[in-house]
Each structure stands twice: as C-alpha cells, then as structure tokens.
Chains A and B, each alone.
Chain A
Amino acid sequence: MAEATAYQVIGTRPVRPDGADKVTGRAIYGADVRMPGMLHGKVLRSPHAHARIKSIDTSKAEALPGVKAVVTHKDLPEAPDKIANLGEGAVNLKFLSNNVLAQEKALYRGHAIAAVAAINVHVAEEAVNLIEVEYEVLPPVLTTPEAMQEGAPMLHAGMTTTSLGEKTDRESNVASHYRFTLGDVAEGFKQADLVIEREFDTATVHQGYIEPHNATAMWNEEGHVTIWTSTQGAFVVQKQSSEVLGIPVSQVSVIPAEIGGGFGGKIPVYLEPVAALLSRKTGHPVKLVMSRIEEFESTGPTPGSRLKVKMGATRDGRVVAAEASLAFEAGAFPGSPVGPGGMCIFAPYSFPNMQVDGYDVVVNKPKTTAYRAPGATNAAFASETIMDEFAEQLGIDPLQLRVMNGAKEGDRRVDGPTHPQIGFLETVHAALEHEHYNTPLEGPNRGRGVASGFWFNVGLQSSVVINVNSDGTVSLVEGSTDIGGTRASIAMQAAEVLGIPYESVRPTVAGTDGVGYTDVTGGSRTTFATGYAAYEAANDVVRQMKERLAERWSNEQEEGADALSAEDVTYSGGVFGCSKGADKAVSFQEMAELMPRTGGPISGRATVQPRGVGGAFATHIVDVEVDPDTGKVSILRYTAVQDVGKAIHPSYVEGQIQGGVTQGIGWALNETYMYREDGNMSNASFLDYRMPTCLDLPMIDAVLVEVPNPGHPFGVRGVGEVPIVPPPAAVANAIYRATGKRMTDLPMSPGYVLDKMRA
C-alpha cells in the first residue's frame, strides 16, 4: 500500500505555516498574552517537603497597596474523592485539587499554598512574602526504599495499597502494585546457562522545556471563564479546570497560545484554576507565569526509580527468561508511569518467559507527570544494559544478539497485546549495515555502545474541519497544539488527499470553542491521529464535491439518461471526471468556484479515534570518550535508527529523533534533582541542572526506516517519544566498552563514573 504510492506532498520538506511568525518574534506564546486591565499574580509555595498547614494568615498581604486578592485552597470547592478520566489517564480529583492548592498538608517543596493578584508582579511578589503560614514540619520521605519501609512516615493518612487490582487494607505509601506475566519465568531460568541480575537507580529528571508554565484567566460576571495558556491540550485544561473549579465544562473556554515545549509536562493544570479564582475575586483578567525555580520544584518531573532486573540466556544467545521489579516515585500523589515502563521494558524482544512487577510509590517530591515515552527510558536503561552484558559474556555482537531475540509481528508483549506489523528488526539491520557501525572506533578511553527501545504510542481522539474557499484553497481547523511542526504534517496529509498544493491548505489550531474535542499533543499521536482526522475530513470534502458534480452533470444530460451518482465521479490529480460516458474535467479550483451555484459552502469534517496505533522501535549507536582523570563522558558520534512508519515531513521527523536523543543524553550524563536531606532541591536552575548545550554534542544522524503502519492510511507511526528511550543504556554500554565498568545509576555524571573507574 503506502510504499507503492507516489505522493505529491507527503515526504517533501515544506516550510511550516507558522514559521515566519516564530522566527520574527511575532507569534504569541502564553506569556505574551496581554489583556486590558490585566493583573499579575504570584503563588506562595511551601518551603518544606512535608508539613502540616496549621494556619494561613493573609491579612498583611491583603493590606499591601496594589494587592487585589489572595486565594487559598478554601476558595476551591470541596473536591470529591473520585477518579475521573481527564484525557490522559485517570486522575483522582481530590489529588488534582490538592496539587493545585494544598489543603491540609504541604507534600513537597514548592507545593502551592496561596496566591496573590496585584497591579504588577513585583507587588505580587512582595505580598506573597507577607502571607504568614504556620507549619508543623514533618519528616520527609524521599526515595522508594524509604517510602516502602514498614513504619515509614505516611504522606496520605489511611492510603492503602491496591494490589493486582484489589484494594488491600495495608496502609502504605505504595499506592498500587501490578504484575504482568507471560510464560513461566521460573521454568525459563532453569533453561538458562547465564543469569544476570542487577539493581539500577535512576534520578528524577525534568522535561526542561524553555517556556515556563503560564495562564491568564478572565472570570466574567456570568460565571464564564476564559483561559489563555500554553498547553499540550486545550480540552484537557478545560476539563481539569471545570472539575477543580466545580463548574460545567461549557463555562470554561480555553484558548491555546503557542507553546514553548511540553514533552508531557504541559498536560496537568497548575496555574489555570488559580488564575481563574483570582479573576473571580477581582473581576479582572489575571496572569500567572512560573519562574524557573517554580518549574523545577512545582511542576511534574519524571520519576526517579529503583529497578531490579534479572535475565537468563542460553549459551547460544537465546534469552529464555526476563524478570523485572520496578519501583517508581510517583511524587506527592499516586500516578507514576510505572505501568508504561513495564509495558515497554522487554517489548523489543520475543522472550518466551517474562514477568514484571510494578510499584507506584508516593514520596515527598513534586507529583510526577509524563515525560516523553514516560517510564520506558528508566526501564530500558536496565534491560538494555543486561542485554549488552549477555552479548559481551557470550561473545556475540550486541546487535546480532538483538536480531536473535527481536520481536516480530505476532509476538506477544508481557502486558498482553501481540505486535502487529512492526519494524524492530529493520532498525537493527539498518544499524548493522550503517557506516557508523562498520567504522572502527580508535583511540584510548573510547567505547561504542548500542541499545534499543520501544514505545507503544497512542491514538485517542481528534477532530478536524476543512472549509473550502471560493478560490480552491482551504482552511483547516484542528485542535492539536503545535509543538514541533504538526500544523505542517497535518496540512500535508489534507493536501495529499485534496490533490492541491501544500501552500493551498491553511491550518489553524483552534481553542475549545472552535473545533471538536481533541486530546493532548502527546503519546506521539498528533501526526498519526489528527493527521488521520485531516485525511478523513479531506475525503469528506471530496465526497461532497463528487455529489455536487454528479447532480450537476445529471442535469446537463439528455433527457432519459440515467442520473449519475457520486460513485460515477472520479477524482485524481486534482481533477474530477466522470467514469460513465460523458467526457468531463473539473478541477478542484473550478469546483470551489461552483459552490454558490451547487448548494452553498462545503465543509468537510471528521472526528476520529483511530485504533490502529503503530508502535515505534529505535536502535541507537553511540561512541564516547571518557576522561580518565575526571570521569567526564564526551559524545563523539551518535546514530539513531528508527522505524517511523511513513515520514510525512522528514525534517520534523529527524528533528523529533535528534531532540529525543539529546534529552536522553542529558538524562544519561548530567540531569538530576539533587535533594538535601530535608527534601529541598539544591539545583533548581538551568545552570546547576545542566541540560545539554550545543557544545556538548556532535551532529546526530537520524536514520529513518519506513515500515508502514497498516493502521493509518499513509502508514504513519508516532515518532516523537521512542528516541529518548535508548540513549541512557547506549551511553552506559559505550562507557563500559571504554572503561570496563558497568554503570547502574543515572546520571552517569563525572563523579559517579570516576568512582566506578576507581572502584
């Protein structure tokens, strides 16, 4: 199907429609929003990682000239202790509300306690410092081993573990425990000649988008709230805000601004309901923007984790058993991505016996949220390191070992689903054949590592409307906020179906009042699912045009001739024709001009929930050099091979891969939340958190392998997330080849590597 087709638009590299506004500074991001009479807000945050809030006295803050309102959790309606589906998995509304403004306890350093609206941000900051909070400081619990101990301080009094789907009466910081099983691991280990078991530790890391969270809200006299914000999903902000504020969905309009990066971090609401409350109290629009410190301390990083992985292989390189125990830090409220971690950990392989136990553990850190393939990177660090040990100890090339054990169509994942048509082995073969892998790496203290990874991708719901203009151009309205060029990749799919140039499609990202429900830009779903909706909406346009022409041409026929139906009208190469007798040729543009004389405007629409999601696989090769005196690791060369299904806009596909790899390298080498014993973070700045700069990196070679996804008309697979999965393991394996030392902790910072080298 897809491979054989010669596309006109798909696979080309046009300039994105929002490009000029973004390179000139004209594009309006959330923090650029200005409203008449707008007030500025600031949030007071807990200085303690764990404390009971005994009292909050706002009187001095309220008395400061220029202060217009102060809000606390008392201004929120009582949130029910119930689970609601808020677009990105289930959320307990009480927890969501308590994360927006703390109720009885501050559960992490940076937890929102109160907020002020004032005439400018400086007055708001002064006022925040005048709010008097009496805390009873409690001992913090910062890691999963501490939190899981008997008698550990409890974050949530009375919380019990849900184990294997059943509520237990065991009070614990372990919110839930699941188990995936395939085959019989005990039997599998009996067949193994070589068994390796290791424990791994990964640090909390942040998405690190450059644009801080922001929200501007106006609550009008009729009780309607309008929110301007940078978000991955306007409808999710609408739903979450309506639940937290206790008002109907129809009373919340969300207008998405341009968004300066998200990577999963801009899905939950933090500021939106607070800005709304402040607006309700003041009658003015109120804007809140986070500082970088607030970003680190008060939003949702991805969890630190403790992983215990045991794998067994036969002498000839067949992995016969694999077992993992994953404990993820959920942060202050339950809901870590330990589930996806377990789904992905062994997914590239067809191991006959597998078992995964996952534990979701609350600790006194910010509530974690999604970060690019959430959970999969932590998990792959462990499994892909052990795969490398097998290769080394069995004397098998590490990529060949992956060929021997690689998953194919029909193989079952540990969590149940069987793989449809996938391209894992294609990525391994492409890596094996790549010039990088076949060029010897020379020089001291250098090593080459490889690793693979999987991310399942998601479909969810999308809506698109295409309105045909009188000159044959179209306007396309969609609801997926554009974080990385998706206006282009969606418009391209519509142009392909409509048979018109890419430039003739003008895509617009609409808010909640302007387009049908659309889930978040996340899960690598936008080009897949919203692109699917664009494909369907474009087909709806073509169908309507065919109906119009069938009727028109029928009326033009001699009397007595059979009426034509839409099926008799053909459309190819941008020209409508007739398959029955009459020699007709009407271009798309001519048909557009005919609209007022054939029944009026034409709007194509589609709402989709595509089920045929194609999972994504990647295999990476990295060369490193380790400084023997300092332990600093330099990336010399990086090649990332990925099955992308069909690359709609190859430049932006490469960009997703290069960006994901870079985040993975940062996670591997530098990034970590450094905590003091009292639970305070000591590196809450970009300088000290130290994400990769361009000087830390070489060019990143993105190799696109195209194994079409049969579940999408053009073969699209999500591409955005999987590239972050292999890098930490690939880098660790390269460090091993350079130093002879196995890395088990992230980040592999110079001090850590040096300690290992000297051990």
Chain B
Amino acid sequence: MATRIHVQTTLNGEAAEFLCDSRQSLLEVLRDDLGFTGTKEGCSNGNCGACSLQIDGVLVDSCLVLAAEVDGKSVNTIEGLASPAQLHPLQQKFLEHAALQCGICTPGFIMAAKALLEKNPKPTEHEVRYWLAGNLCRCTGYDKIVRAVLDAAESMEASA
C-alpha cells in the first residue's frame, strides 16, 4: 500500500488531523475513520447530494472530494450546525414542517439549504428548487422541504 497522506484540516471549527490513502474520499474518511456519520452516502457518484457539506464555505458532494484535498481547508458538516442549546433555524423548520420522512437525505438538504441562504438570504420558491435540484429526496415530494427552507429564510431574516 502506498504511503498514507497526513492531512491537517479544520472540522466544524476545530483543528483535526488524519492519515488517509490517496484513494479515499472525504466522505469515507469522515464516516469510517473519524466517526462523523451524520453525512450520508446514497450513490457515491455525486448524483444524490446526501453527502453535501461545505469546504471553505463552498457546497460540495463529499463523495467526489478526495480526503487529501481538504488539507489546510475548513470543513463544515451537519454535526457542527446546532449549538448544544439550540437547533439551527433550518433544522427547526424541517421539524416543524415535517420536511423529513425517513430522514436519510435530510443532513444533505440542510447543508445545501444553509449554503443557499448564505448566498441568497431571501430566495424565491423557484430559486430554492433550482439550488436544491442536486439533492434527491424520495419520500416527501419536496413540498414540505421547500416550505421549510422558505420559512427558515424568513425567520433568519427576522432575527438578523
């Protein structure tokens, strides 16, 4: 086996380091080596968005990123979103709107929606649908997800 790569990164605001193989995706290292299983795997080829997270604020499918690529970067996952006392408004609105059924796509949708609202705090319904088209949900028909994101945007705007 080839030499393992030493990676120093920031994970949800905290310094983290790990050794990985060159062939390992960020998703695999997060889930299997670091125990961050909140990021989900649905397809491993960037089609479903279940593994969505942010690297230096940019939304990515972590199954398409090699773990070695995050050296010196900052990674944000679903585990870092809520504070101990409070859910993030997106998480809260997903619950209130019943925007999840099985919940497997939910972390990815919430991370994707977070990236949208950082870029566009007041999206229209069409803008939400356009942005979230990279995330597949098979349970909800998206109706309640779109409503939850629009409502979260409104509540974040109100409290900003």
Q: What is the interface of chain A, defined by CB distance below 8 A to chain B?
A: 13, 15-16, 18-20, 22-29, 31-32, 34, 122, 207-212, 258-263, 289, 291-292, 483-485, 649, 651-652, 654-656, 658-663, 685-687, 691, 693-695, 697, 699-700
Tell me, rounded to whole Å, the shortest Cβ–Cβ distance linking A702 to chain B. Answer: 8
A-B contact count (CB 8 A): 186
> What 5 pairs across the A-B complex have the smallest Cβ distances?
A25-B38, A260-B104, A658-B141, A22-B103, A662-B141
A661 near B106: Cβ-Cβ < 8 Å: no
Partner of A658, one of B32, B50, B143: B143
Residues of B within 8 A of A259 (CB): 102
Residues of B within 8 A of A660 (CB): 141
Partner of A15, one of B38, B95, B128, B140: B95
Binds A, one of B3-11, B65-73, B74-82: B74-82
A13 near B91: Cβ-Cβ < 8 Å: no
Residues of A within 8 A of B146 (CB): 694, 699
Residues of A within 8 A of B81 (CB): 24
Residue B16 lies at the interface, judged by CB distance under 8 Å to chain A: no
Residue B57 lies at the interface, judged by CB distance under 8 Å to chain A: no
CA gap between A574 and B72 in the complex, in Å: 59
Inter-chain pairs besides A23-B103, A485-B98, A660-B141, 16 sampled, C-beta below 8 Å = A15-B95, A25-B39, A31-B31, A212-B41, A292-B47, A652-B98, A659-B139, A663-B138, A685-B43, A687-B47, A693-B133, A693-B135, A694-B145, A694-B146, A695-B130, A697-B142
CA gap between A693 and B125 in the complex, in Å: 14
Interface size on B, residues (CB 8 A): 59
Which residue on B lies nearest to A22, using beta carbons?
B103
Per-position binary interface string of chain B over residues 34-56, scored 1 when its CB falls under 8 Å from any chain A CB and 0 otherwise: 01111111111101101000000
Tell me, rounded to whole Å, the shortest Cβ–Cβ distance linking A588 to chain B. Answer: 27
Residues of A within 8 A of B122 (CB): none
B141 near A258: Cβ-Cβ < 8 Å: no
Residue B23 lies at the interface, judged by CB distance under 8 Å to chain A: yes
CA gap between A23 and B104 in the complex, in Å: 9
Which residue on A lies nearest to B146, using beta carbons?
A694
CA gap between A263 and B81 in the complex, in Å: 30
Residue B124 lies at the interface, judged by CB distance under 8 Å to chain A: no
Residues of B within 8 A of A484 (CB): 101-102, 139
Tell me, rounded to whole Å, the shortest Cβ–Cβ distance linking B75 to chain A. Answer: 14
Partner of A661, one of B77, B130, B141: B141
- With A24-B91, A663-B138 as contacts: A210 and B104 at CB distance below 8 Å: yes
- With A22-B100, A292-B45, A652-B101 as contacts: A261 and B106 at CB distance below 8 Å: no
A651 near B48: Cβ-Cβ < 8 Å: no
Which residue on B lies nearest to A27, using beta carbons?
B103
B37 near A210: Cβ-Cβ < 8 Å: no
CA gap between A659 and B145 in the complex, in Å: 11
CA gap between A13 and B96 in the complex, in Å: 8
* 28 intermolecular pairs with C-beta atoms under 8 Å apart: A15-B95, A16-B95, A16-B98, A20-B87, A23-B94, A23-B103, A24-B38, A24-B91, A25-B38, A26-B38, A28-B37, A31-B31, A34-B32, A207-B138, A208-B138, A209-B104, A211-B104, A652-B101, A654-B98, A655-B101, A655-B140, A655-B141, A685-B45, A686-B42, A693-B136, A694-B128, A694-B137, A695-B129
